[in-house]
Each structure stands twice: as structure tokens, then as C-alpha cells.
């Protein structure tokens, strides 16, 4: 069963290429809450501090909070991209990320080539890649555009492709940043159905969003972040 467990999770971003000492002093002024000096006296931004939570299989979690609250950073930590400077994180289950759909795509390659490339990124074998290609090609509904380099795609088409590729393999844990509200209504309905399908397989969804409609429709738990800390954690009904 998929499961995520964080205990005292802490992530800090070092600010390396700072110029003068006076800049450092000013940043570390009395009023600063998130910019601080770490043990080695380097200036760091405290992106996430002391987060503890457990997400069990079947939970659909919405991460809400203002810009800069730490939603995307938390998603990236859950994906194992940012490793914690403090605390512990355990993630059990295969992870699928939809954080930046264009990342890892080669704009000079065709849609089909990009699907295969993504299969290689995931470490799939030739047979699995063929299956991924067939499924993503079908779901994206791109038709003849699949064999066109993706720099010729519209924003909506790129998103269709990214969504199709990312959701084709049914990850146990789906981490997504809100981005899918582009695209036409027909595809949105299709995407929603696909997401529902993923979720009913009793796996975990963690989605960073501002949209309360998304929260109400897709999620059953809300974690509210503020300045890198959890300030609320509860069921959706309370909102």
C-alpha cells in the first residue's frame, strides 16, 4: 500500500550567489521570518519547517496556501528531488510527478519521440515503452500531431501530451501542481475521468492548488501551508 510519512521535515534553500555582506545583513534583519542563517552561517530561505504528517492510501490531499507558502517545494520533496536538511521522510509506492509538464521534453522531437523518451526516463523496457506509447497516443487525442515536433504545439496540446504521458502508467502516488486548467472543455472532462480512475485505484493524490472547486471535487483532505509551516490539516467539509 502506498504511504507517505513525514516527521519534522525541514527544507532550506541556500542563497549562494549573494554579493556583499551588507546585503546579507539586510536580509537577516530583525523582521525576517523565513530568511535566516543556518549552522554554517550561510543565508538560507526556510522553505519548509518542521512538517509532520502521514498520508495513507486512498487519501486525496490538497495543498493550499499563498504563493511562496511551500506547496511546490513540498511536492518536490515528496518526489525525492529535494532531500531534507532536517527530519525524516518515507515514501512507499511508485511516484508519478506532474510538477512542470514541459520539463524533460525535447521541443525538437515529435510527440511520439517524447513519449518514448519519457518511458526511458522512467526506466521502462522496450515492451513497456510500446505500451506507454500506444496508451498515451490514444489518450492525448493528438492524432497526426503526434508525429510533429512539439515546438509546433499549442499550449493546450502540450498539456494534453504531458497529462497523457504522466497518467498513462498509473503511478501509485500522483503528485501534481495545478496546471491542467488550460485545454478545452472536452479534454478537461476526459482528464477528470482519468484522474478519478487513478484515485479509485485506492492510491494517493497530492495536489497543490488555489482553486477551491478543485479541492471540493477531487480531494478529501486539505493541508494548509503558510510560510513553510502547516497551519491547518483537516477534511474538506470544513472549507
Partner 1 sequence: MNSEPALKPVFYLSLDAANPRQAEKALADLRDGLSQWRLALALARLELRNRYRGSVLGPVWMSLSTLIMLIGLGLLYGTLFKLELSDYLPHLAVSLIIWQWISTFIIEACSTLINAEGVIRQMRLPYTLHALRAAFRNTLVAAHSLPLILVVFLVFGRVPGPEAFLAIFGFLLIGINMIAAGLLLGMLCARFRDIPSLVANAVQLAFFATPILWKPELLGDAMVWMALNPFYALLETIRGPLVEGGGPLLAWVAALFYTTLNVVLAGAIFARFRARIAFWV
The only residue of 39, 67, 83, 186 in contact with partner 1, by rule CB under 8 A: 83
Q: Under a CB-based contact definition with an 8 Å cutoff, are residues 121 and 114 in contact?
A: no
CA atoms of 199 and 202, how far apart (whole Å): 6
Stretch that binds partner 1, among 80-88, 152-160, 183-191, 214-222 (CB under 8 A): 80-88
- CA 183 to mean position of chain CA atoms: 19
Strands (E) located in 93-228: 95-98, 173-177, 204-208, 221-226
The only residue of 1, 18, 134, 212 in contact with partner 1, by rule CB under 8 A: 1
Give the count of residues interacting with partner 1 (CB under 8 A): 39
Nearest distance in Å: CB 157, partner 1 = 19
CA atoms of 158 and 144, how far apart (whole Å): 14
CA atoms of 9 and 70, how far apart (whole Å): 12
Q: Binding pattern to partner 1, positions 19-58, x when CB under 8 A? A: ----------------------------------------
For residue 211, which phi and psi values (nearest 5 degrees)? Answer: -90, 110
User: Which of 32, 36, 39 shows the shortest CA–CA distance to 15?
Assistant: 36
Determine, following the binding rule CB under 8 A, whether residue 186 of this chain makes contact with partner 1. no
Nearest distance in Å: CB 195, partner 1 = 20
Strands (E) located in the chain: 3-14, 35-37, 43-56, 60-64, 86-92, 95-98, 173-177, 204-208, 221-226, 229-235
Q: Binding pattern to partner 1, positions 85-104, x when CB under 8 A? A: xxxxxxxxxxx-x-xx-xxx
Q: Binding pattern to partner 1, positions 165-184, x when CB under 8 A? A: -------x------------
Interface residues for partner 1 in 107-146 (CB under 8 A)?
Answer: 108-109, 117, 120-121, 123
Q: Which residues bind partner 1 (CB under 8 A)?
A: 1-2, 10, 13-14, 16-17, 76, 79-95, 97, 99-100, 102-104, 106, 108-109, 117, 120-121, 123, 172
Amino acid at each position: 500500500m502506498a504511504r507517505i510519512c513525514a516527521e519534522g521535515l525541514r527544507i532550506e534553500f541556500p542563497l549562494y550567489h549573494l554579493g556583499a555582506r551588507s546585503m546579507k545583513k539586510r536580509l537577516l534583519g530583525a523582521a525576517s521570518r523565513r530568511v535566516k542563517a543556518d549552522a554554517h552561517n550561510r543565508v538560507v530561505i526556510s522553505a519548509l519547517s518542521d512538517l509532520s504528517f502521514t498520508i495513507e492510501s486512498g487519501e486525496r490531499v490538497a495543498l493550499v496556501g499563498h504563493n511562496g507558502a511551500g506547496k511546490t517545494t513540498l511536492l518536490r520533496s515528496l518526489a525525492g528531488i529535494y532531500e531534507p536538511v532536517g527530519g525524516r521522510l518515507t515514501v512507499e509506492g511508485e511516484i508519478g510527478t506532474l510538477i512542470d509538464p514541459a520539463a524533460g521534453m525535447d521541443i525538437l522531437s515529435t510527440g511520439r519521440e517524447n513519449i518514448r523518451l519519457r518511458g526511458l526516463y522512467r526506466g521502462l523496457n522496450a515492451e513497456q515503452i510500446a505500451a506507454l506509447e500506444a496508451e498515451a497516443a490514444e489518450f492525448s487525442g493528438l492524432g497526426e500531431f503526434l508525429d510533429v515536433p512539439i515546438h509546433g504545439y499549442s499550449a493546450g496540446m502540450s498539456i494534453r501530451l504531458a497529462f497523457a504521458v504522466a497518467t498513462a502508467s498509473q503511478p501509485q502516488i500522483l503528485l501534481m501542481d495545478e496546471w491542467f486548467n488550460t485545454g478545452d472543455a472536452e479534454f478537461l472532462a476526459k482528464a477528470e475521468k482519468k484522474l478519478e480512475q487513478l484515485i479509485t485505484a485506492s492510491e494517493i493524490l497530492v495536489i497543490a492548488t488555489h482553486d477551491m472547486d478543485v479541492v471540493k471535487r477531487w480531494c478529501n483532505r486539505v493541508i494548509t501551508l503558510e510560510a513553510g509551516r502547516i497551519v491547518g490539516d483537516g477534511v474538506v467539509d470544513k472549507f
